[in-house]
A and B are shown apart, each in its own frame.
Chain A
């Protein structure tokens, strides 16, 4: 049957919340009615022009969108190959792409009459964004953060507290993002009546992966238009870092049907993707499983027990990945590679020196891959990389690795 959408990569998920075999709604019965209600509300909001008008207004006046598409001239010269553009989502209010999504979810929460917002956070960027928007709207905010991450992301913990949020350090497991998500789910199942769970990435039960993607897709929509203005054509390669994968999905989604565009996701390789599993590269080093409401690639042992990832970057330290990425990986529409801590630190330093931009450790992974491929590409090859966060929060970690004493 002729159908203009038949060859589109942009139609997912299906009515069961699946991207191919990935995604779904693997949650306890207590949460199921809440998830169905959220789906219904989101479906309504998606086509409601008042909803999007409110989003656009806040994106423009509160977040500072559109974020610039910036030609990184010295970096391009230094690497001597492809022409490198950075999508400057680190210039958003609160310093990362996370707020794009939080605004959407909080507007929905308000429409649903919820008065208490909970969130999980890894690096703290999603927690800060959630605390920020909750402060703006006078909502109670509780953020779950792994105890290990509370330690390595102190500036963000303080920011959340300044913004009036309650930050609860999570000590179960190894005290990272995965454990924070478990405790957020336990909170939600306990406080079902008044609480909205604001998930920070394109993972979790349907409709979260699709909803978060749709709120983050503003990144790719702007980049497409801006590249058209700057170069009169589409980029040749788009690159983004991936923990759960929301900044990447936001950049990738509007380009999925532009077959000429090469799409690369960069996972955290930690100390190296090897049998010791000291990394967070779910696609390169994991296999399909079910966790946190969805089927996706997971780091797990032979018994199906979830393994703790390892990464210098708290924001990438998650043993899973959004289900749409798992699907894009399996069908081959996007490529996924991994970058080690060491390579990310080198990219961090280079970006500071060459461009006067202090990147977060998360996009430093994407930049490290740009450094690998750009020199061998022709000078008219256009790369668009998502600079999804700024590095202020990471200076303590980086100082430690570079041997500076900040105390």
Chain B
């Protein structure tokens, strides 16, 4: 059982929906980023999704692209991202951390070495956007073997025929992408999402969390209401990009978390 499994079990026992918040590791600089992440659980964040900076984030919109560029300009690397998680774990051994990013930095480090380091640092799960089930041998299966959850994205184009394949080696939770598109794009609609979540839930016992296009406390509430939780990324990252101090970013996060938890 990973921290992710324990967290979702605890939330379920409380009858609460999960609030997942995404920030880019090292944005706007490594020290501020660590400070922010450390204070996120107290602001109501149940699961931290930590972005791993990459030069070519093909599934991300401009907001997260710029966050990655800021982090890279500040010298952020995979090595430093792992160190950031170790530092976080000094004061928090409970809040799950999911590393979200693209395959090449992991490929470059070497899968076995990365998995050993990620487990040791206190990472609980991985979301790697450019690894579909067809490439499960690359990282998904080794990650599960190393005790990490591998969280897969299901999307509006994942039809019934394909869904079992997508769910087969998924663990921790299923991340349903509410729209066809990139992060930070159109507003998600609960009425579109509800039947899709129901479809996925009929095929798996895993929690289903919905992200992409969730920007306000009201949307967070509406979307969490039809799923097991919701993810907000770009709306938070945009505030960081606008140069807001950590306290203000946390205010926004608190509002979003309250929205999700009201559901």
A182 on interface, CB distance cutoff 8 Å? yes
User: Is A26 a contact of B131 with CB atoms below 8 Å?
Assistant: yes
> What mask results when residues 177 to 215 of chain A are scored 1 for a CB within 8 Å of chain B, else 0?
010001001100111110000000000000000000000
User: Is B162 a contact of A28 with CB atoms below 8 Å?
Assistant: no
Tell which of B52-60, B115-123, B249-257 binds the partner. B52-60
> What mask results when residues 10 to 33 of chain A are scored 1 for a CB within 8 Å of chain B, else 0?
000000100000001111111111
A260 on interface, CB distance cutoff 8 Å? no
B129 on interface, CB distance cutoff 8 Å? yes
Closest Cβ–Cβ distance, residue A194 to chain B (whole Å): 11
B177 on interface, CB distance cutoff 8 Å? yes
User: Is B182 a contact of A29 with CB atoms below 8 Å?
Assistant: no
B6 on interface, CB distance cutoff 8 Å? no
| A27: B residues at CB distance < 8 A | 130, 132
List residues 101-150 of chain B with CB under 8 A from any CB of chain A.
Answer: 102-109, 129-135
User: Is B56 a contact of A182 with CB atoms below 8 Å?
Assistant: yes
Interface residues in B, total, Cβ within 8 A: 44
User: Is chain A's binding surface mostly helix, strand, loop or mixed?
Assistant: mixed
A45 on interface, CB distance cutoff 8 Å? no
User: Is A16 a contact of B134 with CB atoms below 8 Å?
Assistant: yes
| A108: B residues at CB distance < 8 A | none
A26 to B54, alpha carbons, bound, how many Å?
15
User: Is B130 a contact of A172 with CB atoms below 8 Å?
Assistant: no
| B182: A residues at CB distance < 8 A | 186, 189-190
State whether A305 and B55 are in contact (beta carbons under 8 Å apart), knowing that A189-B181, A190-B185, A192-B180 are contacts in the complex.
Answer: yes
A281 to B157, alpha carbons, bound, how many Å?
37
> What mask results when residues 32 to 69 of chain B are scored 1 for a CB within 8 Å of chain A, else 0?
00000000000000000000011111110110010000
A64 on interface, CB distance cutoff 8 Å? no
User: Is A30 a contact of B177 with CB atoms below 8 Å?
Assistant: yes
| A192: B residues at CB distance < 8 A | 157, 180
User: Is B157 a contact of A306 with CB atoms below 8 Å?
Assistant: no
| A305: B residues at CB distance < 8 A | 53-55, 72, 104-105
List residues 148-197 of chain A with CB under 8 A from any CB of chain B.
Answer: 172-173, 178, 182, 185-186, 189-193
| A285: B residues at CB distance < 8 A | none
User: Is B134 a contact of A25 with CB atoms below 8 Å?
Assistant: yes
B158 on interface, CB distance cutoff 8 Å? yes
Closest Cβ–Cβ distance, residue A39 to chain B (whole Å): 11
Tell which of A220-228, A287-295, A325-333 binds the partner. A287-295
A32 to B78, alpha carbons, bound, how many Å?
27
| A186: B residues at CB distance < 8 A | 58-59, 61, 182
B204 on interface, CB distance cutoff 8 Å? no
Q: Which of B65, B106, B133, B156 contacts A30 (CB 8 A)?
A: B156
User: Is A190 a contact of B56 with CB atoms below 8 Å?
Assistant: no
User: Is B154 a contact of A304 with CB atoms below 8 Å?
Assistant: no
| A295: B residues at CB distance < 8 A | 107
A34 on interface, CB distance cutoff 8 Å? yes
> What mask results when residues 154 to 166 of chain B are scored 1 for a CB within 8 Å of chain A, else 0?
1111110010001
User: Is A189 a contact of B109 with CB atoms below 8 Å?
Assistant: no
A303 on interface, CB distance cutoff 8 Å? yes
State whether A289 and B104 are in contact (beta carbons under 8 Å apart), knowing that A29-B154, A29-B157 are contacts in the complex.
Answer: yes
User: Is B108 a contact of A289 with CB atoms below 8 Å?
Assistant: yes
Q: Which of A26, A29, A300 contacts B103 (CB 8 A)?
A: A26
A192 to B79, alpha carbons, bound, how many Å?
36
User: Is B180 a contact of A190 with CB atoms below 8 Å?
Assistant: yes
A197 to B128, alpha carbons, bound, how many Å?
23
User: Is A30 a contact of B109 with CB atoms below 8 Å?
Assistant: no
A50 on interface, CB distance cutoff 8 Å? no
9 contacts between A and B (CB under 8 A): A26-B130, A29-B166, A185-B58, A192-B180, A289-B107, A290-B104, A300-B108, A304-B78, A305-B53
- Seen from chain B, the residues whose Cβ lies within 8 Å of a Cβ on chain A are 53-59, 61-62, 65, 72, 77-79, 102-109, 129-135, 152-159, 162, 166, 177, 180-182, 185
Q: Which 6 A-B pairs have the closest CB atoms?
A: A304-B108, A304-B105, A190-B181, A30-B155, A303-B77, A26-B130
Q: Can you name 8 extra interface pairs (CB under 8 A) apart from A189-B59, A291-B104?
A: A25-B135, A28-B129, A30-B153, A30-B155, A289-B107, A292-B58, A303-B105, A303-B108
